[in-house]
C-alpha cells in the first residue's frame, strides 16, 4: 500500500508513519510544522518527530505542506491507497483564542483531505475526539470516591458509547470544528461510498509525546515531574479519563484499513480498565520516580468533562481490537522515555 499521513510530524502521526514503513509500505508524511506556533513549544521539541523520522527512515517521503491548501493535498495524495488524517489544531485553549484558525485547520482542512481521498478512491481514517460529545457528558450524574469522580448512573459503567448525543450542549470551538469534520467524514462514506473510519479518541499517550499544559496531559505531568516544573490543575484533580498507549491506537487504525468494513464510527481509548484521575496519576508517578511535581489549583476550564471513559465493545465486535498495554506499564515506559530525553524540555 501507499499511505499518506497528514500531521505526520506530530505524536500520533509519526507513530502511524513508523508503523507502516516498518511494515514495508510506501509512506508519505504531510505536515506544516506549526506546533511551535500553535502551542508555543520550543523548536527543539516541536520538530522532534519530524527529525526522528528523517534520521531513522530514509524511505519515508517527508513533505512540508498544509491541509488548508487543497491543491497541495491533491498533489501529495496522488496514487495513495489510504490516508490517516491526523493533522489538526489540537488545543481547546487555542480554539477559544482563535476560533477562525481552529475551523480552517480542523474543518476546512479535513474537507480538503476528503476531496483528495475521493479523487484517489482511498480509504480514510480520521482522528476525531471525545470532545464531540461536549458538555452532554457532564449531564451524567457523578459521585466522588477517594481521589476520583465516577459516573453515578450504572448505565455508563462501561463508558460512553458511539450513540451518545452530540447535540444541544456546549462544545468549545475545538469540539465544534472536530465534530463538523467528524460528520463530513461520515457523510463522504455514505454519500460517495468511500471507506471511512472515524475514531473518537480519548487520551492517547506514549513515547515521543511532548505534552504541554494545553495538550497531552499525561506526557506533560511526566515532563513536569522529572524536570521540576510547576503544574497547574484546573478543577480539583479528581477528573477521570481513560488512557490508551499510542501503538495500540495505531493497531486499531491498521485493522480498520485492512478490514472489509466500509464506514464506521468508533469510540477508542483505554476503556474502563485503564482509567485514572489527575491526582491518581501524580501518585503513580511519585511511586515510580520518587518525585512529585509541585502543584497549584485553579478554576475549572470551560467545557471540561468531569469523567470521560470510552466504551469499547463496538470496536472489539467489529475489529477484534482491545488495548494491550496496561496503564501502569505505559506510564512507566513514558517516564523512561522522558528521563532519557530531558534535553528536549528546556
**Residues 20, 133, 174, 188: which is the catalytic one?**
174
Nearest-CA neighbor of 302 among 177, 171, 178?
A: 171
Strand-pair partners of 245: 205
The alpha-carbon radius of gyration of the chain (Å, integer) is 19
Contacts of 54 (CB under 8 A, 6+ apart): 60, 62
Active site residue 174: yes
> Do residues 17 and 53 make contact, with C-beta atoms less than 8 angstroms apart?
yes
Phi, psi of 160 (to 5 degrees): -95, 125
The secondary structure of residue 326, as a DSSP letter, is: -
Contact, 59 vs 11, CB < 8 A?
no
Whether 92 and 303 have beta carbons less than 8 Å apart is answered as yes
How far, CA to CA in Å, does 36 sit from each of 43, 179, 229?
A: 6, 25, 19
DSSP state letters, 111-171: HHHHHHHHHHT-EEEEEEEGGGGGGGGGGS-EEEETTEEEESSGGGTT-B-TTS--SSS--
Burial of 320 (0-12, 13-18, 19+ CB in 10 A): exposed
Q: Could you list the active site residues? A: 174
Amino acid at each position: 500500500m501507499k499511505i499518506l499521513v497528514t500531521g505526520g510530524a506530530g505524536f500520533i502521526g509519526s507513530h502511524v508513519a513508523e508503523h507502516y514503513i516498518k511494515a514495508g509500505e510506501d509512506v508519505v508524511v504531510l505536515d506544516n510544522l506549526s506546533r511551535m506556533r500553535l502551542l508555543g513549544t520550543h523548536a527543539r521539541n516541536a520538530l522532534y518527530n519530524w527529525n526522528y523520522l528523517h534520521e531513522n527512515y530514509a524511505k519515508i517521503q517527508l513533505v512540508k505542506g498544509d491541509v488548508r491548501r487543497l491543491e497541495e493535498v491533491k498533489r501529495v495524495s496522488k496514487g495513495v491507497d489510504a490516508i490517516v488524517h491526523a493533522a489538526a489544531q489540537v488545543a481547546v485553549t487555542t480554539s477559544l483564542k482563535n476560533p477562525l484558525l481552529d475551523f480552517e485547520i480542523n474543518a476546512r482542512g479535513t474537507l480538503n483531505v476528503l476531496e483528495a481521498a475521493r479523487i484517489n478512491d482511498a480509504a480514510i481514517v480520521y482522528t476525531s475526539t471525545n470532545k464531540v460529545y461536549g458538555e452532554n457528558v457532564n449531564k451524567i450524574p457523578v459521585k466522588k470516591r477517594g481521589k476520583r469522580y465516577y459516573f453515578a448512573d450504572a448505565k455508563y459503567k462501561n463508558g460512553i458509547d458511539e450513540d451518545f448525543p452530540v447535540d444541544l450542549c456546549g462544545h468549545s470551538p475545538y469540539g465544534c470544528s472536530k465534530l463538523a469534520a467528524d460528520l463530513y467524514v461520515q457523510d463522504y462514506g455514505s454519500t460517495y461510498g468511500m471507506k471511512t473510519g472515524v475514531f473518537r479518541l480519548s487520551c492517547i499517550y506514549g513515547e515521543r509525546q511532548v505534552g504541554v499544559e494545553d495538550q497531552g496531559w499525561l506526557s506533560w505531568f511526566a515532563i513536569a515531574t522529572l524536570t521540576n516544573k510547576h503544574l497547574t490543575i484546573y478543577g480539583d484533580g479528581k477528573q477521570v479519563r481513560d488512557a490508551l498507549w499510542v501503538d495500540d491506537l495505531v493497531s486499531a487504525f491498521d485493522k480498520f484499513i485492512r478490514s472489509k468494513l466500509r464506514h464506521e464510527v468508533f469510540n477508542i481509548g483505554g476503556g474502563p480498565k485503564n482509567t485514572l484521575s489527575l491526582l491518581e496519576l501524580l501518585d503513580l508517578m511519585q511511586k515510580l520516580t520518587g518525585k512529585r511535581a509541585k502543584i497549584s489549583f485553579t478554576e475549572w476550564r470551560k467545557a471540561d468533562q468531569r469523567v470521560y471513559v470510552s466504551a469499547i465493545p463496538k470496536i472489539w465486535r467489529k475489529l477484534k481490537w482491545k488495548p494491550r498495554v496496561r496503564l501502569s506499564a505505559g506510564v512507566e515506559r513514558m517516564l523512561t522515555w522522558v528521563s532519557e530525553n530531558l534535553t528536549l524540555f528546556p
